[in-house]
Amino acid sequence: MTADGPKAPPTEQEIKDRLFADPRKRIDDFNFGKDTAVVFDDMLGRSVPFYDEIQRMTGQLVADFVAPGTAIVDLGCSTGTTFLEIAKYVPRDMDVRFVGIDNSHAMLDRARAKLAAAGFDRPVEFQYGDLNEGVKIENASVVLLVLTLQFVRPFHRERLMKTIREGLSDNGCLILVEKVLGESSAFNRLFIRHYYEFKRQNGYSDLEISQKREALENVLIPYRWEENKELLRQAGFSNIDMFFKWYNFCAAVATK
């Protein structure tokens, strides 16, 4: 209680990620259900190096490529954070639709609530969709895969990339942000070591790091950057460039 009445419930930013803080007898595969959705914003901020800067750069690049009368499609939109950042750079009077697709109803509920609370006043639609089963993309000038492709089963990634390219309008772009493997086993070990140091600096214990790593083992399957680049080329993207790199994280923009 406070002097003025009941204490307000914590905001998403105040809810800390403690999913793996206690010892578990059994580590199940990581999932994006309700428990994860509640702490997801904190998890991203403490687990992804320079996450805010990647979001800012993404917003700027979206503004460079978005076209009136088209859609911005976020595949694996989670809690909708990227749309809030993009809106800072895309003119309010531009005729653009925001379409978020995710395979977690809990994440979609969070996204709707977050944007409503922020007073998001752009045309926006959130849809349930499983990228492993295929997705329909039409008249998009920008498609986003922000820390999403790594969770798509490798067998389905080529088809997804081709679907994205076919759904892009002329001069449209794909923005891809991924956790990646090092180009050699030696580099990979170094990058992972420094990444775990980063997580410890952000308050994660060795137990949390270890248990989450085990939970993600069969769920998050990263490629080397060169493998992702080749995947883009095979799908028909001709112009590809990396705009961010930190050890085992990178971000790229690709056009037809």
pLDDT tens for the chain, 256 residues long, are 444 444 434 455 558 999 999 999 999 999 999 999 999 999 999 999 999 999 999 999 999 999 999 999 999 999 999 999 999 999 999 999 999 999 999 999 999 999 999 999 999 999 999 999 999 999 999 999 999 999 999 999 999 999 999 999 999 999 999 999 999 999 999 999 999 999 999 999 999 999 999 999 999 999 999 999 999 999 999 999 999 999 999 999 999 8
**How confident is the model at residue 6, as a pLDDT?**
42
The CATH architecture one would assign to domain 51-181+219-255 is 3-Layer(aba) Sandwich (3.40)
**How confident is the model at residue 8, as a pLDDT?**
37
Rounded Cα distance, 205 and 202, in Å: 9
Sign of the Cα pseudo-torsion (116, 119, 121, 122, in order): negative
